[in-house]
Amino acid sequence: MAALAEQTAAGPRPERGDWRTLRAVGEAGQAYMAGLVPASSGVQSSTYYARGHDEAAIRLRWYTKNSREPSGSAGAAPTPAVVYAHGGGMVMGTLDLYDEVISWYVDRTGVPFLSVDYRRAPDEGIGTTLAEDVFAALTWLIGHADELGVDPGRIAVMGDSGGGGPTAGAAILARDRSVALARQILVYPMLDDRNQTPDPARSTYLTWTYDNNYTAWRAVLGDAFGADTVSPVAAPARLTDFTGLAPAYIDVGDLDIFRDEAIAYAQQLAAAGVPIELHVHPGVPHGWERFAPHAGSAKRAMADRAHTVSTL
């Protein structure tokens, strides 16, 4: 954390409500973290486009392991696949800044990933648009499963932090629209716009602060922020009926402001009969495995996620 603080000390400090500075500072931090581990060389990528619910073009990046049989090869068995929504508080992050993360998962598991360039709040998309973009990527992959060598019954959605909210929202859309989904993998997900009361016990360790959280949710929801009418597709913690959702894997750090909302989401899934695997990692803050990748807890978390992907 000291090294991370040193890296960010020279930059501007985003004020509450200033999403532009938050984006600039956050993306600089993501670029720093991407350089902490060696790039995975055994992975290739290509670009595709899906159509959003409003017919907007959604850029997609398809990652495969170099050793994998080419799509459509005779005798090649279809594989599972993962649709991934990058982190960034729903206001920042890019496909390029997550190239290292996605490549690691693909190289480690051999499972292809489809990374989604969903529209970020508030200047590109707001409200349910972010989840709709992830859902559009899911349906695009199902529609192109044959040519990409994918088993349409073994596709998961996955996202971390700010990408976890649109991922959970896409899982809700998949249920409501009767679209097959094998699993939802939520890594310290940002689910609840109402999580705005600071916890002093965690204040020293916050890498994503309550001010950041306010800024981001305000950008996503605009004037609807805090209202009773917020859609659970935009803020999944607002959901009241969890029945029929895809099986879930959730992990979160004990010093993360998202800890309680992640645990509550897992509890509600379980109460509705949805299979759930929950990991709460003690003594670590938000995003710890990115800026401390060589820590034992980081290695365990990444191995657990890779195992979950490998068993789709």
Catalytic residues: 161, 256, 286
User: Is cis: bond before 12, omega within 30 of 0?
Assistant: no
Q: Are 208 and 195 in contact (CB under 8 A)?
A: no
Place of tokens 């965690």: 202
Establish how many alpha carbons lie within 13 A of residue 157's alpha carbon, considering only the half-sphere containing its beta carbon. Answer: 35
With contact defined as beta carbons under 8 Å apart, do 25 and 209 qualify? Answer: no
150-160 and 43-51 beta bridge pairing: unpaired
CA 105 to chain centre: 13
Concatenated DSSP letters of 144-188? THHHHTEEEEEEEEEEEGGGHHHHHHHHHHHHHTT----EEEEES
Three-state DSSP at 281 gives strand
Q: Are 185 and 110 in contact (CB under 8 A)?
A: no
d(CA 307, CA 116): 22
Give bridge partners of residue 252 from the DSSP assignment.
280
- CA 102-22-302 angle, to 5 degrees, is 25
Which pair of tokens denotes residue 26?
Answer: 């956050």
